[in-house]
Amino acid sequence: MEAYGAVDELNSQIGVARAHIKAKKLNAILKGVQRDLWVLGGDLASELLTANVPRISREQLDRLESVTDELNSGLPRLRRFILPGGSISGAELHVARAVCRRAERRTVALSKVESINPDVLPYINRLSSLLFVLARTVNKTQRVPEEEFVREK
C-alpha cells in the first residue's frame, strides 16, 4: 500500500509540474511518464503471477533512458551539486524527483516482502534521473540560472 500510494503521489506531483510547463515536447514526455506510472501502480497492486495485468516493461525503461540521455546532452556539464529550485516548474520537478526517491524506497521495502516485476525498481530509479534532467532543462528553457551548492567557509 505504501509503495503504490507513493507512486500515486508522484503522479500527482508530475501533474502539478505539467500544469506550469508550456513546452509541448516536455509536457508530452511527462504525460507519457504519468501513463507509465498508472501502469506501474497497477503492476505493484497486482500479484506478479496475475494474468492480463499491464506491466512496466524493459521497453518503457529503455525509452526513459533514451529521453534522459537526449535531454541531458543539451545541458551544461555539472561541476558541483545544484540547489533544487529555479523556476516554478523546475522547482516542482525537483519535488517530483524527491517524491520519486521516496516511492523507490517504499518499493524496495515492498520487494522484500513480496515478489514484484523486476523492471519496476529500475524504472523508478531511472525516472528520478529523468526528473532531475527535466528540472534542469525547464530552468534552462526559461533562462533561470542554476544555483550551485557552495559550502560556506
pLDDT tens-digit series, residues 29-55? 999 999 999 999 988 888 766 777 889
One CATH from 3.40.1410.10, 3.30.2130.30, 1.20.1200.10, 2.60.40.10 for 2-141 = 1.20.1200.10
Q: What is the mean pLDDT of residues 80-107?
A: 95
pLDDT at site 150: 80
Contacts of 149 (CB under 8 A, 6+ apart): 80, 81, 82, 83
Please report, rounded to a whole number, the percentage of residues in the chain having pLDDT higher than 70. 98
Q: What is the mean pLDDT of residues 74-87?
A: 90
For residue 59, pLDDT over 70 is answered with yes
Residue 83 pLDDT level (bands cut at 50, 70, 90): confident
Residue 64 pLDDT level (bands cut at 50, 70, 90): very high
With beta carbons less than 8 A apart as the criterion, state whether 121 and 105 touch: no
